[in-house]
Amino acid sequence: MPDQPREQDATAQARHREKMQKRKKVQDQEVASKSLEKGLLMVNTGPGKGKSTAAFGMALRTLGYGKRVVVVQFIKGAWDTGERRALERFDDLVEWHALGEGFTWETQDRERDIAACERAWAVARQAFARPDVALVVLDELNVALRYDYLPIAQVLADIAARTPGQHVMVTGRNAKADMMEAADLVTEMGLIKHHFKNGVKAQQGVEF
C-alpha cells in the first residue's frame, strides 16, 4: 500500500513526459516551417496601458544586439521620462526625437499640430532611408493619423519603401484599419482596470 502513491507519481510523470514530447515535436515542426526573414511593421494599439512601454522594450532588445534605434515621438511633448533616460544611456546607438508639442487638447491649435507632425514625419522618412537603423519607433503615430494630421496613404507608402530588413513599431490608440491591414503584427492592449479611475495620479517609474 505505501508504494501506491509512488507508482501513481511515476505514472503521472510518464504521461506528462509523453505529452510534452508530442508537444515538442509539433512545436519543432512549426518553427522549422518558418524560413522567411523580413523587416516587420508592428502596431501596438488599444485602450490599455503599455503600448509605448512595450515598444521601448523592443528597442532595448534591439540595442542589446548592438543595433541602432531611432525613436520619433508624435503628439507627446519633450517629456522627461524614465524610458528616455534609460535608452539614452545607449547614446551611441539611440536617436530620440520628441517632436510633438503636447496632446491636442493642450495645444488647441490644429495647424500647429499638423506642422509638428509633418516635421516629425520628415525625420521618420530620413530614418527609413538609413541602412544602419534596425528599428524605428513611431510613438503615438496612430493618434496623429486618427486626427488626420498626416495622410495615411502617404504614411503607409513611405513605410513600405523603407530600407529592406528594417523594423518599424507604431504605437497609439485607435489604429486605423489601413494601418492594421498593412501591419505584420498587431497587438491590442485591453483595459480591464486602471488606478487613474480611482484618483491615483501619474507616478514616476509607472507612467513616465
Query: Both 72 and 140 in a single domain?
Result: yes
What is the rounded distance in angstroms from the CA atom of residue 124 to the CA atom of residue 138? Answer: 8
At 198, is the pLDDT very low, low, confident or very high (cuts 50, 70, 90)? confident
| The predicted structure's pLDDT at residue 107 | 56
Q: CATH number of the domain that 61 lies in? A: 3.40.50.300
Write down the H helix ranges in the chain: 4-32, 51-64, 82-87, 104-107, 110-128, 141-146, 152-160, 177-182
| The predicted structure's pLDDT at residue 31 | 83
User: Residue 123's closest CA among 149, 95, 164?
Assistant: 95
Query: Both 94 and 180 in a single domain?
Result: yes
Query: Both 171 and 86 in a single domain?
Result: yes
Query: Both 62 and 74 in a single domain?
Result: yes
Four-point Cα dihedral 133, 46, 179, 156, nearest 10: -40
* Domain of residue 47, residue span: 36-190
At 114, is the pLDDT very low, low, confident or very high (cuts 50, 70, 90)? very high
List, for residues 63-107, the tens digit of each pLDDT value: 999 999 999 999 876 667 888 898 989 999 999 999 876 555 455
Q: For 173, which DSSP code?
A: S
**Range of lowest pLDDT (28-32, 65-69, 106-110, 165-169):** 106-110
Query: Both 104 and 114 in a single domain?
Result: yes
Region 133-147: mean pLDDT is: 97
Per the structure, how many domains does the chain have? 2
- pTM over cut 0.85: no
Helix axes 110-128, 152-160, angle to 10 degrees: 10
Query: Both 40 and 25 in a single domain?
Result: no
In a domain, 160, yes or no: yes
Region 153-157: mean pLDDT is: 98
Query: Both 30 and 40 in a single domain?
Result: no
Query: Both 12 and 60 in a single domain?
Result: no
